[in-house]
Chain A
Amino acid sequence: MLVRLTRPVALCLALVWAAAPAAHETGSAAAANWQRIFAAAQRRSVAEAQLLPLLKRVDRLTTQGLPTDWFTDQVVEGLAKGVAVPLVLDRAAVLEDRLVTSRSWIEDLKGRGVDGTRAAEGRTAVEDLAESLVTAPLQRSDLDLLQSWMNTRSLPRLLAAADALSHLRQMNVAEGTVERLFRSLPDTLSDAEVRYLNMALAAGRRRGLSDDQVAADLASQVRKGGRPSEFTRGLLTGSAGASGGAFQGAPGGRPVPGTPGPGGPGGQKGGGRR
């Protein structure tokens, strides 16, 4: 009897042990995010009982296999800023809805042959698209438009474009200008650079330039191998844009990113003063 029982019991133990790390990782991720929510609430003296619906949502997202980090970021932000808990709860409901929609759209895109993974900047594809959906009310058909404008089947590129599009929509840029912008992008342009399209237009507006003018200049520059980020810098420093100058200098706004050299704060670039 003992011998007969050994194998099934060993099988059960093996399965439990094998599942333990995955369950632990999922559980610890949720626990870590709960802890972040607690910490933010504590700083604003929010009663723990009020947090229960938020914690339940984190748990539900985990159960559904959806990422929780971005969701928690947004919730923590609200609590840290002292936003009333009912408003944070409303926001949480929207965020959860966008995450579900985002996953559904991405699965649909993958079913239509769009592929590639999005692991950059520590954010998942679902979270990336969900944030775009929160920024502006994009439609599923917008992704098809972006796909046809850029003639791409790459998911990371579509997500980058959706991010830029959401900001362009938020800025109320004319649809014709938006289409021209995306159609002008060469395949060789990196996905990260696609996310700078809206910044280029924002920089142009700061200089009093029309969106059409900036879009035309930008299209011309990227065709020659230029990058939207450099174009934006040029606009801010007055060395590009309507006059089409070279891309030089640092952004005038703050904060000022610089590339540190080894052993010290080298590479820091100056910023404008308020």
Chain B
Amino acid sequence: MKERVDFTSDPSLLEEALREMARDAPPAGLEARILEGIAAIPAPRRSIWSRFAMAFQTPAATWAYRLAALILLGAILVNLRDLVALRTPPDVPEGPESLASLVPPTAATCPSDGCGFLVTFQFRADEAASVSVAGTFNDWDPARAPMVRGENGEWRLQLILPPGKYEYQYVIDGRRFVPDPEALERQSDGYGGENAVLRLKRCSSV
């Protein structure tokens, strides 16, 4: 039996013992035994949620959080813009449809941005009960741009159109699409017919 040493009676004995311990190398195979012991300990059972949460504790996940924060900020800005837009609906509807419906055939108003073209459509059809203009500016809907009959079977309509390239045809009695024989530029419509082409350049270059 080893002799018990009372370190409290002599503190120098404790210091000497600690120096002795520091000099001693660990017994051979101790590290391997420790690792084996650790491996033998059964892993704690973690729930799916717990494992899912642990996946977000890695350094890579930290970067993902930062990225998410940036995306979040962008999303907030985008949604704010939409919210502001919702709160202030435009007074003047946009698009060719509204332009056609806003402009009566006998008068015209300048668009608010001052950069539109007053386009006069004229077509002679003595026997027609109704004539309209249908084109890319009104989704080819004759009902949106009816022409007004004048003297000598002359049908007429004025539209304000923004700069751009348009294709159109006249529509007689709501059903029969006919090309404008006087159009300078025509283009196949891909369905066996021909559309007239109307090009309106930007005001600055006119």
Contact = CB atoms under 8 A, between A and B. Distances in A.
Contacts of A192: 201-202, 205
Interface string B108-122: 111100101111111
B140 A198 contact: no
Interface in A224-252: 229, 232, 236, 251
Contact of A274 (B64, B123, B165, B168): B123
A232 B121 contact: no
Contact of A14 (B71, B177, B189): B71
Contact of B118 (A251, A260, A273): A260
Contact of B158 (A11, A134, A202, A265): A265
B75 A17 contact: yes
Q: In the complex, which range does the number of interface residues on chain A fall in? A: 35 or more
Contacts of A206: 184
Candidate in B56, B117, B134, B190 with the most chain A CB atoms within 10 angstroms = B190
Contacts of B120: 254-256, 258, 268, 271
B79 A21 contact: yes
A199 B119 CA distance: 19
Interface string A1-41: 10011011011001101101100000000000000100110
Interface string B164-198: 11011100000101001111110111110100001
DSSP class of A's interface residues: helix, strand, loop or mixed?
helix
A274 B169 CA distance: 15
Interface of A: 1, 4-5, 7-8, 10-11, 14-15, 17-18, 20-21, 36, 39-40, 43, 73-74, 76-78, 80-83, 87-88, 91, 94, 121-122, 134-135, 167, 170, 190, 192-193, 195-196, 198-199, 202-203, 206, 229, 232, 236, 251, 253-265, 267-268, 271-274
16 contacts: A8-B56, A11-B65, A18-B71, A20-B75, A80-B141, A91-B190, A122-B164, A134-B190, A167-B187, A192-B205, A257-B117, A265-B107, A268-B120, A268-B158, A273-B124, A274-B124
The 7 closest A-B pairs by CB, nearest first: A80-B140, A4-B53, A18-B71, A18-B75, A265-B108, A8-B56, A121-B164
